[in-house]
Amino acid sequence: MAQIDVAPAKGLFGFLTYKKLPRLLYAGMTGFAPPLDVERWTLHGHMLNPHFKLVEAQEFLARRDGEWVGRIMAQVYKPEFTPVGASRFQFGSLDAVDDIEVVRALTGAAEDWLKARGADRISGPFSPTINGECGMLVQAFESTPVFLTPWHPPYLSRHVEALGYVKARDLVSYRFDLSPDDLNQPARVSNRREWKDRLKIRQIDYSRMKQGETQLMSDLFNDGWRDNWGFVPFTLDEFNSIADALSFATPPEYTIVVELDGKPVSFAVALPNLFEIIDDLDGRLLPFGLARLIPRFRKHKYKSGKLLLLGTRKELQNSATGGAILMAIIEELRRRGLETNLEHLEAGWVLEDNMAMRRPIEMFGGKLEKIHRIYDKRL
């Protein structure tokens, strides 16, 4: 049996290899779409993503017979950022060929690195954070690829579970299929007498993103999610770091702020499915990809999108008012999606036991599609 060598990803070459490895391992697999390398740099680069100010992290690469066969990240949160319910000691970005020995070598390297820092339990995958891409895909492998939604081959979860990792939580994603006939339906929530004068919906003001809007989103998100399993505060630095990307990639009509009696109490941000315009670039912008991409941003009519961020004041959740706000958001996103010719919208990730969110989503026609699993392992 060929030896499997696992080593820290070091230097520029190691960084670039680590970021592009999934598109090399999974090329041609049904359901996989390669993200842009440059976008992966901003997500996983320690100097580019403010998340890495909260953790100590190390990336690893696996090689066998001179070929790259897998990768993994290990991280430990600083004590003041302890996740709710989950371990401070985490793994993420696990990708590998179909070989349990490769997965064993990668998870073993992450476990050893974490044990050296005091870990007795490991949670993951968080890639790199629960506020970003998290969980391992365990259902709907061949469904439509959606930007910023993790994809894994079916064998990966089987190997992880065979190595002693057990389910901690499942995150579910719903699919809304949109029909032009829905445009003729009257609003079911915002036009009701008891809400018509109290609930107001506006767009996020891109001209004030870093002069108030990102602070508002940070406050609403952290207040709304603070008791949920796995929660780690989404810092203002992190919101500011994605502000420019949001304003470039997300049309204003994909954003919502809900005001109740004149005060902002909830927000939502959806993202067009950028895989529709980058799928044929194979992750590369140079030398010709950028020239092809820019006009697509201006002209492409998206068929799919993703509800990316959502936050509602904690005091309103599990109440009739909170339910009305969530349903108004779903209704408004569906209407705006139809007006921009969307055919389907993905809403996730929702904790499997978060019925306060799941019920309104299902009430408005959301169909459970993808499941991503977060694992735990005692070390």
How do the domains of the chain map onto residue ranges? 9-169, 176-373
Q: Residue 1: exposed, middle, or buried by beta-carbon count in 10 A (0-12, 13-18, 19+)? A: exposed
- pLDDT reading at 1 higher than 70: no
pLDDT digit string (tens) for 269-282? 999 999 999 989 99
- pLDDT reading at 138 higher than 70: yes
Task: Give the mean model confidence (pLDDT) for residues 303-328.
Answer: 92
- Predicted pLDDT at 213: 95
Task: Give the mean model confidence (pLDDT) for residues 53-78.
Answer: 97
- Predicted pLDDT at 286: 79
d(CA 176, CA 190): 20
- Predicted pLDDT at 64: 97
d(CA 78, CA 157): 28
Task: Give the mean model confidence (pLDDT) for residues 101-109.
Answer: 98
Task: Give the mean model confidence (pLDDT) for residues 98-102.
Answer: 98
Higher pLDDT, 197 or 10: 10
Task: Give the mean model confidence (pLDDT) for residues 185-197.
Answer: 75
d(CA 212, CA 203): 13
Whether 9-169 shares its CATH topology with 176-373 is answered yes
- The CATH fold assigned to 176-373 is Aminopeptidase (3.40.630)
Whole-angstrom CA distances from 274 to 84, 129, 287 are: 32, 21, 20
Structure tokens at 331: 């209704």
- The CATH fold assigned to 9-169 is Aminopeptidase (3.40.630)
- Predicted pLDDT at 91: 98
Contact 235, 286 (CB under 8 A): no
Task: Give the mean model confidence (pLDDT) for residues 258-278.
Answer: 95
d(CA 41, CA 64): 25
Share of the chain above pLDDT 70, in %: 98
Whole-angstrom CA distances from 325 to 222, 258, 328 are: 17, 7, 5
- pLDDT reading at 339 higher than 70: yes
pTM of the predicted protein model: 0.95
Reported as a pLDDT band with limits 50, 70 and 90, residue 186 is low
- pLDDT reading at 188 higher than 80: no
User: Which residue(s) pair with 199 in the sheet?
Assistant: 260
- Predicted pLDDT at 370: 97
Task: Give the mean model confidence (pLDDT) for residues 203-212.
Answer: 93
Higher pLDDT, 138 or 293: 138
Strand bridging mode 55-64 / 67-77: antiparallel
Task: Give the mean model confidence (pLDDT) for residues 91-110.
Answer: 98
- Predicted pLDDT at 159: 98
Query: What value does the mean pLDDT of the chain take?
Result: 93
Chain-centre distance for alpha carbon 210: 22
- Predicted pLDDT at 312: 95
- Predicted pLDDT at 155: 98
pLDDT digit string (tens) for 3-20? 999 999 999 999 999 999
- Predicted pLDDT at 243: 84
Whole-angstrom CA distances from 340 to 328, 334, 335 are: 18, 10, 9
Reported as a pLDDT band with limits 50, 70 and 90, residue 56 is very high
Q: Which of helix, strand or coil describes residue 29?
A: coil
- pLDDT reading at 182 higher than 80: no
